[in-house]
A and B are shown apart, each in its own frame.
Chain A
Amino acid sequence: MDEKLIERAKRGEREAFEEIMRRWEPKIYSFALKHLGNVDDAKDVTQEVLFLIYRKIYQLKNTDAFSSWVYSITLNEIRKIWKRREKDRVEIRLPEGSSERVGYAIFALQMIPPEHREVILLKEIEGFSIKEIAEMLKIPEGTVKSRLFYGLKALRREYLRLKEEANGRIQ
C-alpha cells in the first residue's frame, strides 16, 4: 500500500481516501465473504469497515501496518456477526452457478472453528507471515501454527465429508 496515499488520507484528503476505498473494498468483501459465506453479511462488514477506516485512519501511527490494521478491524466485525449467528445455528446452502469444488470449499470453511478459519484465510489467501498473523491477532506464533495445522486438516476432512454426502445423494 502506498504510504503517501495513507498519509494524504490521514490529513483528510478526500481523493486519497476514495482511492483507498477503491482498492480495499473488493479485498474486504472477498475476505468477509469467505469467512461468513453470506453476501449480505459480507456487504455489511465491508461498509462498516470502510466507515471505520474513514473515521479512524487519522489515529493510525504506523502507516506500514495499514494492511494488518484493516484486517484486524475486519476480523472484529466478522466476529460480531459470528457471535450473533451462534444462537441461530446457521446452515449454508451451496452457491448456484459456481463449480462444485468451490461450493464445497466455502461450505467446508464455514464448518471449521472461526479461530482456525481466521488464521487459514490470513495465511493462505491474504499471504501474511506467521509472525504478522500472531501480531495481528495478539496470539503466540505457536498458536498460529497449531491453528493452521489443525484447521487445514479439519478443512480437508469437512470438504471430503461434504463431497461424500453429495455423492451419496446423487447415487
Chain B
Amino acid sequence: MGEFNEYKKMLVEFIYGEITPESERKFLEHLSICEECQRDLREIREAREILRDMEKEKEYPPPVVIVEGKERIPWAAAIFLFLFFMFILGFKIKIGDNQIQVSAVESQDIYEYLADVSEKGINFAPTLKDYENYFNEINQGGKK
C-alpha cells in the first residue's frame, strides 16, 4: 500500500469535485505524467460505478447472512424452551430404585411438602435428599 501522499488526497478531492482550482491544476499536471495516479483514478472510478449499479436497483432483495460452520443457536431461547417443556411435561427424578415424575402440578405438591417439613419456607432450593424424603413419605402412604 503506497503512502497516502498529497496527490492521492487531491485525487479524492478531484473525484468528488471538492478541490480548489489551484490544486486541480496542480493535480491534472501531475496526472498527465504519473501512471500510478492514472491507475488509481481509473480504479476508483470503477469502484464508484459498482456502487452506482447498486443504487440503480433499489428494490433488490436483501442478502441472507449465514455463519461459518454451525448455525448460530439462540441460547437464551433454547434454555427458555427447555425449561418451559420441563415445566409442562414434567421430568423424572431417579433415586436408588425409586423414580418420581415431577410435573408442574406435582412440583407444586413437592414445594408444599417441603414448606411443611422445613422452616425455611418454600423459597429454597430442594436437594436430592429432600426429594428422597418426599418420595419415601409417598411410599409409606403419607402425604400426596
Chain B: minimal CB distance from A128 (Å): 10
Chain A: minimal CB distance from B75 (Å): 13
B residues 14-73 near A (Cβ < 8 Å) are 16, 18, 40, 43-44, 46-48, 50-51, 53-55, 57-58, 60-69, 72
Across the interface, do A96 and B13 meet the contact criterion of CB distance under 8 Å? no
A residues 125-171 near B (Cβ < 8 Å) are 125, 129-130, 142, 145-146, 148-150, 152-153, 155-156, 159
Q: Which residue of A lies closest to B64 (CB)?
A: A93
Spot the interface stretch: B3-11, B92-100, B110-118: B3-11
Residues of A contacting B55 with CB < 8 Å?
Answer: 125
Is A94 interfacial (CB 8 A cutoff)? yes
CA distance in complex: A91, B67 (Å): 6
Query: Interface residues of B toward A: which range?
Result: 20 to 34
Residues of A contacting B63 with CB < 8 Å?
Answer: 37-38, 92-95, 103, 106-107
Is A89 interfacial (CB 8 A cutoff)? yes
Among A93, A129, A153, the residue within 8 A (CB) of B40 is A153
Is B77 interfacial (CB 8 A cutoff)? no
Residues of A contacting B64 with CB < 8 Å?
Answer: 38-39, 92-93, 95
Residues of B contacting A38 with CB < 8 Å?
Answer: 62-65
CA distance in complex: A129, B19 (Å): 12
Across the interface, do A102 and B51 meet the contact criterion of CB distance under 8 Å? no
CA distance in complex: A41, B67 (Å): 14
CA distance in complex: A61, B64 (Å): 39
- Known contacts A130-B13, A145-B9; is-contact A124 B60 (Cβ 8 Å): no
CA distance in complex: A96, B64 (Å): 9
Across the interface, do A156 and B50 meet the contact criterion of CB distance under 8 Å? yes
Is B79 interfacial (CB 8 A cutoff)? no
Is B12 interfacial (CB 8 A cutoff)? yes
Is B1 interfacial (CB 8 A cutoff)? yes
Across the interface, do B54 and A102 meet the contact criterion of CB distance under 8 Å? yes
CA distance in complex: A129, B16 (Å): 9
Is A99 interfacial (CB 8 A cutoff)? yes
Across the interface, do B4 and A152 meet the contact criterion of CB distance under 8 Å? no
Which residues of A are interface residues toward B (Cβ below 8 A)? 30, 33-34, 36-39, 41-42, 88-99, 101-108, 120, 123-125, 129-130, 142, 145-146, 148-150, 152-153, 155-156, 159
Which residues of B are interface residues toward A (Cβ below 8 A)? 1, 4, 8-9, 11-13, 16, 18, 40, 43-44, 46-48, 50-51, 53-55, 57-58, 60-69, 72
